[in-house]
Amino acid sequence: MKAGVLALQGDFREHARVFAEAGATPVEVRLPADLDAVDCLAIPGGESTTIGKLARAYDLVEPIRERSRAGMPILGTCAGMIVLAREVEGGEALFGLMDISVRRNAYGRQVESFEADLDVRGIDHRVRGVFIRAPWIERIGDGVEVLAEFEDRPVVLEQGNLLVTSFHPELVGETGLHRYLLRKA
């Protein structure tokens, strides 16, 4: 199976490494033609504004929306969650695919980063998450399921073929969420 990683900015190499560990063939997606060759896609953490500018510059916004609407599974971690959200407080939505509203950097500044072990529904082990300037969910729409919470706040959500996290599982080599996504593909 070919697992795409949006490779415009952020920790895309770490996602590729985790997909490889999970048994998939990682493909770095930079152009619409790259997207055509993959069965699923991860949108990494990084800087959501920069990811948005580059996705527009490389004409990836509509192709990603179209593939999502056609059922391709997509995982968005941290900034990936922000760009998949329908609403971004104080900002502009990019893909607008998941019926959630997010607040950027809600868990604090870089120096306030932390790690936590989480119970995620559908994964048979505790998932290690790295929260770095992490967003949180302000609103959850109909059809969005909460798969995990941290301190009474949703941090892993699923809506159909979309899966998002407030944190970075890829930074510690956590494969559970990537394997979950691959099962959806």
The pLDDT assigned to 108 comes to 66
Question: Is 168 a known active-site residue?
Answer: yes
78 in active site: yes
Q: Please write the tens of the pLDDT for every residue from 19-37.
A: 999 999 999 999 999 999 9
The one catalytic residue among 40, 170, 174, 178: 170
75-130 pLDDT, tens digit each = 999 999 999 999 999 888 999 999 999 998 777 667 678 899 999 999 999 999 99
Alpha-carbon 119 to chain mean position: 18
CA dihedral 7, 16, 129, 178 (to 10 degrees): 110
Out of 14, 15, 78, 174, the active site residue is: 78
Helix 176-184 vs helix 12-21: crossing angle, to nearest 10: 70
- pLDDT tens digit string along 134-169? 899 999 999 999 999 999 999 999 999 999 999 999
Residue 139: CB partners within 8 Å, gap ≥ 6? 87, 100, 101
Instruction: Please count the CA atoms within 13 angstroms of the CA of 49 that sit on its side-chain side.
Output: 4
DSSP 39-59: SEEEE-SS-HHHHHHHHHHTT
Task: Considering the candidates 14, 15, 158, 168, report the single residue annotated as catalytic.
Answer: 168
Domains of the chain, each with CATH number or no CATH: 2-184 (3.40.50.880)
Query: CA dist 156 to 23, 37, 90, 142, 168, Å?
Result: 23, 27, 22, 15, 11
134: its two tokens: 């992490």
Alpha-carbon distance of 134 to 59, in angstroms, equals 27
State the pLDDT at residue 91. Answer: 86
